[in-house]
Chain A
């Protein structure tokens, strides 16, 4: 239901928004110049800075600093959730009232840049701080910089050191053959060796696709590339694990609930770098006893899916200079570090790799050390439609009898059709 509802709204919204932005609609507003003084009242739409701590961090600390620097700019914050962010942006576009500054996910830049909903940023922003090259890749479209990263969330494998020691396993798996063998060895007494399913299936499969040397789309975003053998093998690997009994889709846990690695019901799992904060809150003894370790998934190459939140500015802002100033400010090391601490995320700046926060959070530290292996989802203007279809199209291959080849082929057809509609 959730998928149908969101897809429906997104489809209607995309059509209406496209009409509005191409001039057929009546809601487009004239954007001003970004070169003038930063002044005026602007709106920031954000899916992060959640809960009381996040709100205090944003409104008191980060925006407090921004107000000191830009006293003539008033920022109104519009909080939403990631689950409804696309609906907020889409309806805003359709109504011609997009917030001046928007925070959005990795992969979201090409779709909104292609619709000319967001404005390019000066290239000098890309060199203002010490970014890893891959960190800025999701911020670009058509060679131009459209956004700056605020926080990153990586997908890594976390494992139980006590289970490894008990089974006499001395090193972490270096490829899928080793991963499958180790998972099989660790599966016993109702415990599963590997839980790849407690994170979003889309992001999990993408991580395996990248680790297998595959890609989602061509560089211009117009050709589907995941339908080759590498994409099929990635999905087939999940089926192999289930066949071995070392993974079980029915045993996946919900976001926020204690994970199978925390409860000892799994020896390894795919998870995000934010798990460290969850464990610190729910099972601090696991960190105190150094029970958890982490490694980057590898097969043909090591790969770590890089998700996260980027900040960009609306192309139709009436106060573009103020909006640009806020984008720049939200991406400063101080703002980034605050947001990363609050969410347990990865600050995507080399400048911050020696900070006490990074050194204390081993999952974040591992992620920053391996940013060279980071890969991002998206890369096509049709991503907002395709991303909603990945999980429901691949799921039947895992829980039902559909072959991996058929599921990937079906997904390929859907993706090609979506790209064709752009």
Chain B
């Protein structure tokens, strides 16, 4: 029921004044207190990260130091930025995350639409294969994907049989193509397209629209929560990806922000002041993205969960 309400536009606006007139019950107060405590617990690590990024190493190590920095050391940020080419890393992360997001939106929505709205032999099997792909642990796929990238025919000096060169290794192709479409996004889009009324599709057909235009002009604009959810999830996972970019790149010019941050994690322990400054900066794009799309994001998850 809660999900149904979420789908009704404007429900939140009309019901809010009514809710305010209701007397506060003990249960509601308990709910607010619980949610406040949970929110506080969620925000504490973030606050700690920001405050630690402004402390000196001596202060971080001190037992007597309070939560707030004694001397607000903003130079941690400038020094962290000079420790490695973070502008290049951030640019690379942005290009990869944006590419993944766009490709996932286009191809996963097409696949989801086909699986939900087009009847064809084997569609059920293909859908179950997507579900099965969701169950495969990421780390079991790393090596096969690495080998596919390495032995990519006619790329990076390779011949037709993938021999002789380095394939896609240390190229944008290796960073972008393997993570471009996710089974989860296909699954999510299918669930949303399934929910759309068949009358909408039939009316479009009567008006003479072809399949692609029905998908692009009629149906896809109706699944905005799915588009926002996939955008946020894809961008977030791509922005935070560490292992794959580390494995397939060798040169600094192709390294990403998460790999760049590892420069502060030495074998003898992290340089906390720099690591937290760098992490704060790396977190900002995700926070901004979530603030912009949070309403649709919640809707997206709620709707997917209903199916």
A95 near B146 with CB under 8 A, answer yes
Q: Which of B91-99, B222-230, B245-253 contacts A (4 or more CB under 8 A)?
A: B245-253
Q: Are A9 and B57 in contact (CB under 8 A)?
A: no
Determine if B264 and A88 form an interchain contact, defined as CB atoms under 8 angstroms apart: no
Q: How many A-B residue pairs have CB under 8 A?
A: 118
Q: Does A82 contact B (CB under 8 A)?
A: yes
Please indicate the chain B residues that have their CB under 8 angstroms from the CB of A79 in the complex: 252, 263
**A283 vs B224: C-alpha distance in the bound complex, in angstroms?**
55
Q: Which among A26, A51, A55, A283 is the interface contact of B266 at CB below 8 angstroms?
A: A51
A43 to B268, CA, bound (A): 25
List CB contacts (< 8 Å) of B45-93 with chain A. Answer: 57-58, 60-63, 79, 82-84
Does A51 lie within 8 Å of B271, measured CB to CB?
yes
Q: Does A165 lie at the interface of the complex (its beta carbon under 8 Å from any beta carbon of B)?
A: no
Count contacts on A: residues with CB < 8 A to the other chain.
50
| A53 CB, nearest partner CB in chain B, Å | 8
Interface residues of A in 19-49 (CB under 8 A from B): 26-27, 43, 47-48
* Contact of B247 with A262 in the complex, beta carbons under 8 Å: no
Contact A95:B267 (CB < 8 A) given known A16-B143, A26-B162, A26-B163: no
Stretch at the interface among A140-148, A270-278, A385-393: A270-278
Contact A27 B151 (CB under 8 A): yes
Q: Which residues of A contact B246 (CB under 8 A)?
A: 80, 84, 88
A272 to B268, CA, bound (A): 9
Residues of B within 8 A of A83 (CB): 265
Chain B contacts for A97, CB-based, 8 A: 150, 166, 169
Q: Is A355 part of the binding interface, using a Cβ–Cβ cutoff of 8 Å?
A: no
Tell me how far the C-beta of A49 lies from the nearest C-beta in chain B, rounded to whole angstroms: 10
Q: Which residues of B contact A55 (CB under 8 A)?
A: 83-84, 263
- Complex Cα spacing A267 to B172, Å: 53
- Quick check: is A5 within 8 A (CB to CB) of the other chain? yes
Bitwise interface map of A from 162 to 174 toward B, beta carbon under 8 Å scored 1, else 0? 0000000000000
Closest to A99 in B: B250
Determine how close the nearest CB of chain B comes to the CB of A348; give it in whole angstroms: 16
**B266: chain A residues within 8 A (beta carbon):** 50-51, 256, 343
Smallest CB-CB separation from B63: which chain A residue?
A263
Say whether A185 faces chain B, with CB atoms less than 8 Å apart: no
Highest count of chain B CB atoms <10 Å: which of A27, A52, A272, A284: A52
* Smallest Cβ-Cβ distance to A45: which chain B residue: B250
Could you tell me if A16 and B147 are in contact, using CB atoms closer than 8 angstroms? yes
| Listed residue (A5, A47, A90, A272) with the most chain B CB atoms within 10 angstroms of its CB | A5
B139 adjacent to A5 (CB under 8 Å): yes
Q: Which residues of A contact B271 (CB under 8 A)?
A: 51, 256
Indicate if B39 sits at the interface (CB-CB under 8 A): no
Over the window 234-270 of chain A, the binary record of Cβ atoms lying under 8 Å from chain B Cβ atoms (1 yes, 0 no) is 0000000000000000000011111000110000000
Q: CA of A382 to CA of B84 in the docked complex: distance in angstroms? A: 36
CB distance from A172 to the nearest CB of B (A): 24
Residues of A within 8 A of B63 (CB): 258, 263
**Which A residues are CB-close (under 8 A) to B62?**
258
Q: Name the residue among A43, A82, A91, A278 with the largest chain B CB count within 10 angstroms.
A: A91
Judge whether A84 and B243 touch: CB under 8 Å.
yes
Q: A9-B142, A258-B60 are in contact. List 8 more A-B contacts (CB 8 A).
A: A5-B139, A26-B161, A50-B265, A50-B267, A78-B251, A81-B267, A281-B58, A283-B58
Sample of 24 A–B contacts (CB below 8 Å): A5-B139, A8-B137, A27-B151, A48-B267, A50-B264, A50-B266, A51-B263, A52-B83, A78-B251, A79-B252, A83-B265, A87-B247, A88-B246, A88-B247, A90-B143, A95-B147, A95-B150, A153-B268, A255-B268, A255-B269, A256-B271, A281-B57, A282-B60, A284-B58
Closest 3 CB pairs of A and B: A256-B269, A282-B61, A52-B83
